[in-house]
Amino acid sequence: MPDQRRRFSRTVALSKVLLLGLSTAVIGLLSYFLPFGLDWEENIGLETLYTLRGHRVPPADVVLVSIDKGSADRLGLINNPAQWPREMHAQIIDQLAEAGATVVAFDVFFKEPRDPKTDQLLVDATRRAGNVLLFAYLKREIRDNSSSDIYVEQLVPPFPALAEAASGVAPFVLPKVPIRVSQFWSFHTSAGDVATLPVVALERYTAPAVRQWLRQLASDDAALMQQLLEKKIVNEDATGFNPGAREILLTHPVLLRKIKQNISRSVLSGDANKKQVEALLTTYTGGNRPYLNLYGPPHTIPTIEYADVLRGDAETLAQFKGKVVFVGFAENRQPEQKDGFFTVYSQPNGVDVSGVEIAATTFANILEGTTLQPLSATAFMLSIVAYGFFIAGVGRLPSSLLIVIGSGTIAGLYLMTASILFNVANIWLPWVVPLFIQTPIALVVSLLCRYGDVHRSQQQIHQAFSHYVPRNVADHFADNATPITATGQLMYGICLATDAERYTHLAEKLAPHVLSDLMNAYYEVLFAPVRAHHGIVSDVIGDAMLALWSSPQPEPQLRQQACEAALDIAAAAVKFSQQQNRVLHTRIGLHAGEMMIGNIGALDHYEYRAVGDIVNTASRIQGLNKQLGTNVIASEEVLQNVTGIVTRKLGRFILVGKEQAVTLYELLGYTGQHSMAAQVLCADFELAQALFFSQAWNESLIMFQRLTMRYPEDGPSAFYLKLCQRYVQTPPVAWRGAVEMSLK
């Protein structure tokens, strides 16, 4: 009888383990059908595996030529590479050709012809080199098909003469959205299965090896060569693959197997040639969206500045011999970065990996055969199921402490296995859900079962769980199941920046506790309008405040709320100064556009912040109040569709440190609050300003003199009067239709 009880007890215990294993496996699988499952694997999982592995040395076959601000400064050019002289690109091509570069891939879109002379220099250099690949734009169109829309992608090449001179044109499209770039297109099926720029570079780079293999194939296996010719897999002169070879190879698996066997048996001149042919064939017959295997942070791929290549010293040019060279925007400073993509190696200072470096990485991956290899669907499910049963089996250990230690050990060994496979074989083993969902569930349930065994209450397991593990404890556990990381999202928003005049004077004059009380009261006054108009106070430093209104898409309501908040802040600040009998004149600037917004910080401290050019621009606009003698200035972007507010156009300004001009307006107040005299001032100011921007300096000077005499307190009139006086004496050398500011 006791033996029967023991056998029954063991059977029940085994049944519970099997049931827990099955439940854990099912939960693990179901997690991947929810949005967070795959997102966790692709973000947290990959990031951790990259961190554990560390940086890798990229292959020696690829070099990057960076178009960046450093080169612009050294060459005396503006930091707008789209406007750089094309004869410089022609010179770069000649330099690289002379240096012996095998392939030159330009990740620059030469969309339209410009100056015929310089265009011809670029065309001639491209034709002479005979190995230049050019970027082509992939245009997406929506075509109505009565019942549904059809998305069609069309390849837009560079201007015709240049495209004809190039060795090839190809697209390279990556998502410009606030998610990590982890995959790339090798072929765009929606555009006719067109090869992307890195694949075309691989075709050109491996062409000599392919020709050698085909010559050897013609002598070693004439029958197989005949099949390749008949099916048009190779061209008529048997020197390379046809453009449609990929589709044919994918539909003839037996023939593909014969080709692979022949390549593996071939005795080519060096293992490198055989590997090149195998790499090309693998790229043709693999998936069209492989996973990137990044080497490290920006500029891990050997990078030489554009200006250094243009200088053309022997030591620099020697680095290009026999290499595939990618030329494109690769800035290493965040404010100037024009073509960055968010990856696991994006830097804390905002610098991302450039698109051209991702293209070079893609080429290196497919050449080396080191793209990340996710498990097949079957292997993926088997790994999740096997881990579920294995971690559930730990629940058979004789004590709660051993169950905890055993679960931690199994989880650690699994993560170690995933790291080793990632490092050694580039295999991506899913581990986030097994460790952060399956392991905690199996551990908690095993501990609960253990508790039930001790108290002989197997039928009350769920009740015991709810009794001894309160909801808030479970919530806390779930909240801390994943590592907290700073995250951000690309949003449309309005930034409102403020600054208090005479703060430095007050800080010197007042005792610290008095200053602290004053500023706390001051910010209480400023915060109230922001919150009343549904904004968020993002940052406070000294006497400056930054407030945000944001949403995924532009919304007129946000701009209306921000403008109303600005006017209310200005009015509240005036009232505060009167009450405190201290002058804290508050200057306000507003700007709108795209920004990255989210949690910024580390460890246990995070702040809700915005990062982007509009933050800097809003601050510059705020500072302009000081020179114009105004209170509230907003950019034209902020005022779109805003109603009920009286504004005065202040003109176009190129702010300090900026290249592009912005049109700015003064916010005067709500409609109906201004006198007839104020309306006359605005009308006369508009006429004088129109003369100013039409470069009629003398006429404008006369009008602004009259305005300043009638309205001596009007800051903008006094500002333009001084400009007119200066321009009458010394007109600007290159008038750009905007006032260039030299002071913040």
Residues 512 and 591 in one domain: yes
- The answer to whether residue 191 is domain-embedded is no
Residues 392 and 517 in one domain: no
Tokens 């690109």 map to which residue? 89
Residues 560 and 596 in one domain: yes
Residues 472 and 424 in one domain: yes
Residues 519 and 645 in one domain: yes
Residues 701 and 596 in one domain: no
pTM of the predicted model, to two decimals? 0.59
CA quadruple 47, 48, 52, 53: dihedral positive or negative?
Answer: negative
- The answer to whether residue 337 is domain-embedded is yes
- The answer to whether residue 193 is domain-embedded is no
Q: Total domain count for the chain?
A: 5
Phi-psi region of 201 (alpha: psi -120 to 50; beta: other; left: phi over 0): alpha
- Looking at residue 606, its pLDDT comes to 65
Residues 80 and 178 in one domain: yes
HSE value, Cβ hemisphere, 13 Å, CA-based, for 76: 0
- The answer to whether residue 44 is domain-embedded is no
Residues 340 and 384 in one domain: no
Which of 639, 655, 674 corresponds to the end of one domain?
Answer: 674
How far apart, in Å, are the Cα atoms of 636 and each of 29, 563, 593, 663?
51, 12, 11, 5
- The answer to whether residue 198 is domain-embedded is no
Residues 538 and 643 in one domain: yes
Closest CA to 506 of 522, 520, 518: 518
CB 199 within 8 A of CB 187: yes
**In the chain, what's the furthest Cα-to-Cα distance?**
116
Tokens of 169: 């044109």
Q: Which CATH number characterizes residue 627's domain?
A: 3.30.70.1230
- Looking at residue 554, its pLDDT comes to 87
Residues 319 and 179 in one domain: yes
- The answer to whether residue 570 is domain-embedded is yes
Residues 532 and 433 in one domain: no
Which of 321, 344, 373 corresponds to the end of one domain?
Answer: 373
Phi-psi region of 309 (alpha: psi -120 to 50; beta: other; left: phi over 0): alpha
- Looking at residue 482, its pLDDT comes to 45
How far apart, in Å, are the Cα atoms of 26 and each of 304, 391, 436, 442, 565?
51, 13, 15, 12, 52
Residues 302 and 224 in one domain: no
Residues of the chain with pLDDT under 70: 1-13, 142-152, 175-179, 268-271, 333-339, 452-488, 599, 601-608, 744
Which of 350, 373, 396 corresponds to the end of one domain?
Answer: 373
- The answer to whether residue 266 is domain-embedded is yes
- The answer to whether residue 41 is domain-embedded is no
Domain containing residue 441: 2-31+375-479
- Looking at residue 466, its pLDDT comes to 35
